[in-house]
Structure 1
Amino acid sequence: MKPRFHCSTTLAGQTLLVLPPGAARHVQVLRMQPGDALTLFDGCGGEYAATIERMGRSDVTVQLGAHSSIEREAARPVHVAVGMPANERMDWLVEKATELGVASIQPLMTAHGVLRLAGERADKKRTHWQAIAIAACEQCGRNRVPLVHPVRAFAAWIDSPPIDDAERFVLSLAEGAHQIRSLRDDPASASLRGACVLSGPEGGLSAVEEQDAIARGFAPLTLGPRVLRAETAALAALALLAST
């Protein structure tokens, strides 16, 4: 696969383009040269073949070719709302969720969550996670970058409509929760436009949070008898729901 780079500017075919600073630095780090081929995408859908025309000290000019409408999105759009795991596990979750085709990610502060973010620190973390999603798209071939939403407290988020026209699920260990495998055998599931899955942090959602979600239309869903780590549970649910 040719090297792929995301451009923050809107692209147009058959034009000369000076790459944005981030993409230009990436090209220079790879020691690419005039005449080398690459692929560019702007996140609006599809991708462009391109050829390096000029390498400057800090700038790179490319010739854009034709637009290709190819997409590599999941069969079903799945939005993940997750109680943020601590340390670098949220970074890993964002990267792998992007590779698996997540439509958007909503970081949440929950009762059992260790990570607490607000103000400038929350904004910096969101920018950091969005950059991880972009890099994952460059690596895996996606041409649409999933949106990482601003960090929100669970209570504020659950009172607003999570995702329009999407079936809602909350991961649960409670008896009576639906088996996620049963959704794959439900013919009605294939007609759904999308899904929103809510997953807790280390320690899971509190009993009150889970009940609040159920009261707002989130169906309790189980991944099976094993207790998974917070980031593993969210990714397993995403992988299964996105392929139904």
Structure 2
Amino acid sequence: MRIPRIYHPAPLTVGTVLALGDDAAHHVSRVLRMTVDAPIALFDGSNHVFAARLTRVDKKGVEATVLATQMEDRESLLHLHLGQVMSRGEKMEFTIQKSIELGVNVITPLFSARCGVKLEGERLEKKLQQWHKIAIGACEQCGRNRLAEIRPAMTLEAWCAEQEAGLKLNLHPRAQQSINTLPLPAHGIRLLIGPEGGLSAEEIALTANYGFTDILLGPRVLRTETTALTAITALQVRFGDLG
């Protein structure tokens, strides 16, 4: 049986006994039906994995004792920051989950002129919390020991205006340049993926003003969630740790 991996939000130390959070405790006790003495693997975002054993499983909670630790670096050498204009329904959740499996380090949800998602206030905050849980689950599943960051949502222009070193890319169906012609990025990549209806002409001009390079993936028009994962995969193959 595969040893389950659990994220713990506080720093871990060998020899300590800790109580698992509500979601983790429910997963261990109710979903996996694990019992006392069962082994689990914990990670706290420090790029280490901690071997642990369950020492308490009951209605009041689940506790584990940390037994040993070692560094397990599964991070790509390519730092990827995805700016994703929010998509409807489960498409955004799918994009977040799979992008993290592919090695994206930071995801910023964006609002644009043709964004089909209208969220604000409490509804937006709940959605961000949901996406954070999806990020945790993706890291638990794929073996990453650093937690990918889900940033607060912001407007497209505010995100483009941020000062961040690195190559800035915008997917455009009429671009002249491809990923294979890009130079090796010295400080990572900032990748913009537009909405289902595409960026407006004004927004495309705005990205150019902020130093973004338009790139083309191929001759076919891809859905927004397909575009994100295809571009990330191609960038990881060319500059990162895939292939």
What TM bracket, shorter-length normalisation? over 0.9
Off by >6 Å, runs of 4+ in structure 1: none
Q: 1:209 aligns with which of 179, 197, 203?
A: 203
Q: In the alignment, is residue 173 of structure 1 matched against residue 173 of structure 2? A: yes
- Equivalences, count: 236
CA contact (8 A) 2:175 2:214 kept: no
Q: 1:233 aligns with which of 211, 223, 227?
A: 227
CA contact (8 A) 1:9 1:20 kept: no
Provide the TM-score with structure 2 as the length reference: 0.92
Alignment of 1:13-32 (within 5 A): 13-29=14-30, 30-32=32-34
Q: 1:149 aligns with which of 121, 137, 151?
A: 151
Alignment of 1:38-187 (within 5 A): 38-161=40-163, 164-176=164-176, 178-183=177-182, 186=183
Distance in 1 between residues matched to 2:93 and 2:60, nearest whole Å: 29
Q: Tell me the CA shift for residue 86 of structure 1.
A: 1.1
Structure 2 residue ranges without an equivalent (≥5): none
Which letter does structure 2 place at the counterpart of 1:133? A
Name the SS of the counterpart of 1:139 in structure 2.
helix
CA contact (8 A) 2:112 2:155 kept: yes
Q: Tell me the CA shift for residue 175 of structure 1.
A: 4.1
Distance in 1 between residues matched to 2:49 and 2:114, nearest whole Å: 41
Distance in 1 between residues matched to 2:175 and 2:138, nearest whole Å: 36
Of the structure 1 ranges 10-19 and 88-97, higher mean CA displacement relative to structure 2 is found in 10-19
CA contact (8 A) 1:104 1:149 kept: yes
CA contact (8 A) 2:53 2:65 kept: yes
Provide the TM-score with structure 1 as the length reference: 0.92
